[in-house]
Amino acid sequence: MTTEQERADTLADYRRAAALIIHFGRDDGAGVNAVLDEANEADRATELVVALLMTYNSIVPEVRTDLGMKLMTDYLLRIAGEQT
């Protein structure tokens, strides 16, 4: 059974995930860092990542097509190659 505190923590994780996406979309590095700092201070960094992934699954269903997955894979492999 979920406690009220667990529910509040989860809602805060999703709020931070939304804020992170918005700040990133606005190219606001300070805002991104503020969200990451807040998650770290709350000891909820892992939960923030999970909330981001769940948000991704909710708002970007077209990426889950065969073409979308190929494009994403190609992009990630290119980025990974640039980092080596």
Residues whose CB is less than 8 angstroms from the CB of residue 10 and which lie 6 or more positions away in sequence, other chains included: 47, 51
- Per-residue pLDDT at 71: 86
- pLDDT confidence of residue 67: 87
Say whether pLDDT at 77 is over 80: yes
The two structure tokens encoding residue 60: 């970007």
Exposed, middle or buried: residue 13 (CB in 10 Å: 0-12, 13-18, 19+)?
A: buried
Conformational region of residue 29, where left means phi above 0, alpha means psi within -120 to 50, and beta covers everything else: alpha
pLDDT, tens digit, 9 for 90 and up, residues 16-55: 999 999 999 899 999 999 999 999 999 999 999 999 999 8
Q: What is the pLDDT of residues 57-74, one digit of tens each?
A: 887 776 778 888 888 888
Would you list the domain boundaries of the chain? 4-82
